[in-house]
Amino acid sequence: MSIPSPDEVLPHRPPFLFVDEITELEPGTKAVGTWTLSGDEAFFSGHFPGRPTLPGVLMCEAIAQVGAFALLSDERFAGKLPLFGGLDSARFRRQVGPGDTLELTVEMGRLSARAGKGSGTATVNGELAVSCDLMFVIVDAETAG
């Protein structure tokens, strides 16, 4: 199975698309992707001057985007949009900065036509940077605005 690029599946666009590639996919169940930080991202200039650090909330967003890719790759969710419903148990274990590549993994748990849960991690060179549990609601993409 050929895996489409993130911009073919996700509604996100730069500067808010935080997934470069999906490397593994089980539609509706699991996805693994990567995000390489060039150092040119705007947030590094203010977070923090002299010690650029990827904000933890953006790592969680990147995990959620990989989860959205898994969900939207399932034909049951064509024309839908997953929105954050909650974030639980987020734990930040390592700083991430320019030049690092995050490996983002999400596994879906409970999933219905209207909502779901998943768990995700972001690692750098096999070292855990963040783990979190995601809750999301699923809405029609046309009426999400």
Residue type, 106: V
* Backbone CA torsion sign across 16, 21, 22, 24: negative
Residue labelled with tokens 């073919």: 8
d(CA 2, CA 4): 6
Q: Given 47, 90, 94, 139, which residue is catalytic?
A: 47
Q: What are phi and psi of 132, to 5 degrees?
A: -160, 160
47 catalytic per annotation: yes
* Closest residue by Cα to residue 133 from 89, 77, 83: 89
Q: What are phi and psi of 60, to 5 degrees?
A: -65, -40
Active site residue ranges = 47
